[in-house]
A and B are shown apart, each in its own frame.
Chain A
């Protein structure tokens, strides 16, 4: 038996918050806007071919994860060798004052898979199985990435 796909607007309503939170934490609020649009426009293109009984949330976060990698690559190309990385980092420049800047700069500096694993686990509140689906690896590898990412972050925040 197969269920029908909901209208795309309902899909957007259901997943916009988690995708937004993931992107703000992965790439910062400035790049999040573009990444958000690109994520859902890519999702819209592929949407009719999506199986309604698949893990839709993990699917859209997979796309968001890929868009966040693109944004990081683009930022690396833009970045100039300056003293203060915050000067060229859209996230740091515009982040609300209450943000724990040290921690999120450290998240920013994690290898891509660890960064996504950490953000998907704690910001998007995803179980390991969905993290694995979103970043395209085994559940065991996702667990490992998460653990390695956390270890690095702990060294930073406990300093």
Chain B
């Protein structure tokens, strides 16, 4: 390497030498002299993206998520190894949704559009009217026992059909529990795919919807459904 040189010198010289050394070290080994914060973080961003892709591909994460295009704006999709676990509407804050998933399922959460690509594909087909039922696996982890009965009954409503809150409650084994059924529907973590938009009020009123009544109407029109539930014989 280099010769051993006099490092005592005069104090000023020594201090300048230390400062020069410190400056050189601060510039880092990547040689980005005077580069902006953004420039110097570009390689790290690339490495982080390759890392996320690998984590998702090798199944190291417990939850993967990605934004998905929809006529409503970007939806948030999240999935586990069991299936799709959460669909968030555009108004929902991504960080809030992810933090809740971290608490309820696992903090091993990574972004991966590749993992969610099959969901995006089926959603595209559904929104363009080419798909009437979803073939995707769903993960019901976020749904409690009562809500699960209600949402399972809801999942059985065919494309283009509607039921009233009371009818869904009855199907869930709780006749007279239409208010409780409404709450369960309101807590649906996987809207659109669990079609809570197909549950409406008696007499043709739409009733509430987590994504807002306009979207409920839009989805029912897409499916060619009439909002008035057909009255049917109860068991």
Q: Is the CB of B22 within 8 A of A122?
A: yes
**Complex-state Cα separation, A84 to B74, whole angstroms:** 55
**Complex-state Cα separation, A77 to B195, whole angstroms:** 60
Minimum CB distance partner of A105 in chain B: B1
Q: Is the CB of A8 within 8 A of B108?
A: yes
Q: Is the CB of A44 within 8 A of B29?
A: no
Given contacts A36-B51, A109-B1, contact A21 B107 (CB under 8 A): no
Segment with Cβ contacts to A, from B96-104, B181-189, B196-204, B221-229: B96-104
B153 within 8 A of A: no
Q: Is the CB of A24 within 8 A of B30?
A: yes
Contacts of A53 in B (CB 8 A): none
A7 within 8 A of B: yes
User: CB-defined interface of A103-134 with B at 8 Å, one 1/0 digit per residue?
Assistant: 11111010000000011011101000000000
**Complex-state Cα separation, A105 to B107, whole angstroms:** 39
Q: Is the CB of A48 within 8 A of B3?
A: no
The interface centre, meaning the residue of A45, A102, A151, A154 with most chain B CB atoms within 10 A of its CB, is A154
B132 within 8 A of A: no
Q: Is the CB of B30 within 8 A of A96?
A: yes
Q: Is the CB of B99 within 8 A of A6?
A: yes
Q: Is the CB of A21 within 8 A of B44?
A: yes
B110 within 8 A of A: yes
A87 within 8 A of B: no
How many cross-chain pairs have Cβ atoms below 8 Å apart between A and B? 157
* A97, chain B: closest CB distance, angstroms: 7
Q: Is the CB of B25 within 8 A of A48?
A: no
Minimum CB distance partner of A38 in chain B: B51
Number of interface residues of B (CB under 8 A): 49
Chain A facing B: main interface SS: helix
Residue in A9, A19, A106, A118 whose beta carbon sits within 8 Å of that of B110 in the complex: A9
**Complex-state Cα separation, A41 to B47, whole angstroms:** 13
Given contacts A6-B102, A156-B2, contact A99 B109 (CB under 8 A): no
**Complex-state Cα separation, A33 to B47, whole angstroms:** 7
B111 within 8 A of A: yes
Given contacts A6-B107, A10-B95, A20-B43, contact A150 B30 (CB under 8 A): no
**Complex-state Cα separation, A96 to B102, whole angstroms:** 40
B40 within 8 A of A: yes
B135 within 8 A of A: no
Contacts of A157 in B (CB 8 A): 17, 20-21, 24
